[in-house]
Chain A
Amino acid sequence: MDHGIETTIIVNGTATTRRIAPRTHLIDFLREELGLTGSHIGCEHGVCGACTVRVDGRIVRGCLMLAVQANGCKVDTIEGLSDSGELAPLQRAFHEHNALQCGFCTPGMLLAAQDLLHHKPQANREEIRTHLSGNYCRCTGYHAIVDAVEEVLASRRAGAAK
């Protein structure tokens, strides 16, 4: 019953065609088939946010999406968004504020933070917390993450004001 279905996904800008078993979720596909191990599995029921990736410009829980559902879609992972430089300001701010410790939540957290930069550029601290409220971090206590995101938002607003 588990015949692979031919699926083409544009992963980090590269069209990739594979036969994928329907039950394979997007994260398992990325990790196991493509070796893109930067996206992590934390719960496999959509609550912890460790698996957050971007599909057609929107953040999703990769564990709650079948890889075959992503046929024809553009998928951006932490690796691609690092290499393109899109995440560089956030990564720099995270680094400087130590907004990560063990790093396991970090790719998902960065994707969620980047989504906030797009959709809520005027966000205050409370709104930052709300937007990130679906990404579990056990190590940092969130304060430094909020500081880092706040700093990037502020510098963007300052840059835009010039």
Chain B
Amino acid sequence: MKAPSFAYTKPGSIGEVFDLLDRHGDEAKLLAGGQSLLATLNMRLSSPALLIDIGNLPGLSGVTMSGGRLRIGALTTHRTLECSPEIAAHAPLLAQAAPHIAHVAIRNLGTIGGSIALADPAAEWPACCVALDAEFILSARGAERRVKAREFFRGLYDTALGRAELLTAIEVPVLGPDYRSCFLELARRHGDYAITGIAAVARVRDRQLSDVRLAFLGVGSVPVLARGAMAAVEGKAMGPDRVAAAQAALAADLDPVADLTNSAATKLHLSRVLLGRALAALAG
């Protein structure tokens, strides 16, 4: 399966990227890690005229801390995040999620920015960013804006990213020491796309959860913040009744889409199971 023909360019600055995007519009695609794009090209599912390789743009990679927020460059690889001491310390949810992303060889090249911009419904990072109430920094020529993760994902492969914009960084608020996180995913085989997954974060005191965030992946076209389930446990002590209430509320929060081997009902059921397990893990 050989890719169709395309031109390739590797701009040295973000300004050049904007020039290219202006000039070529829809005919051009950005190449970051390429772990999704190149597979679709090999299968001839898309034929861009030009690939703009942003892989080596300076300043877009790395993890820094500033003012209680973690700033993750969009070109930071999954593997870097997986192995980062800062991430482990200040955003452990991401460290829990990273090993679920495909396999090491993919994680060595794939980037968090690429994953978020593509917004595959089964991707791990979007749900994590929603759970962490992260903010995305979108750069255009001479301008920069911030969009909350919770507003960024609009539909199937559809985000708030404008045509002439580049996702340049992800900012994650660092949560206090009494916060716990739990990432769980159900996949048929290690590294497969998730059937369903949950990114769960809460402040925990004596088995009581507050500031609860429960974001699901793989159950719709976008990550879903399960507000009904969250409300059912917010500020409450954990126990079997609480968990059951949250699981019941999930039916209103989620409207799962069936896949080849899992009906919508199965996905809802599995989501409930993961919810129960995540809440138990958070409560300790």
Contact = CB atoms under 8 A, between A and B. Distances in A.
Contact flag (A, B; Cβ within 8 A): yes
Contact of B35 (A28, A46, A131): A46
B55 interface: yes
B109 A65 contact: yes
Contacts of B260: none
Q: Is the interface of A mostly helix, strand, loop or mixed?
A: mixed
Contacts of A3: 7
A11 interface: no
A145 to B, nearest CB: 15
Interface string B77-106: 001000000000000000000010011111
Interface stretch (A55-63, A80-88, A90-98, A148-156): A55-63
B8 A46 contact: no
Contacts of A23: 2-6, 41
A130 interface: yes
Nearest to B33: A64
Nearest to B4: A23
Q: Is the interface of B mostly helix, strand, loop or mixed?
A: loop
B13 to A, nearest CB: 17
A68 B8 contact: yes
Interface residues of A, number: 31
B106 A46 contact: yes
Given A22-B51, A134-B191, A1 B5 contact: yes
12 contacts: A22-B7, A23-B3, A45-B1, A46-B35, A46-B39, A49-B103, A58-B79, A58-B109, A61-B105, A64-B38, A131-B104, A133-B191
Given A23-B2, A23-B3, A134-B191, 13 more contacts: A1-B6, A2-B7, A3-B7, A25-B42, A45-B1, A46-B35, A46-B38, A59-B108, A60-B109, A61-B109, A64-B39, A69-B34, A133-B189
Interface of A: 1-3, 5, 21-23, 25, 28, 44-46, 49, 52, 58-61, 63-66, 68-69, 71, 112, 115, 130-131, 133-134
Interface of B: 1-8, 10, 31, 34-35, 38-39, 41-43, 49, 51, 53, 55, 79, 99, 102-106, 108-109, 189-191
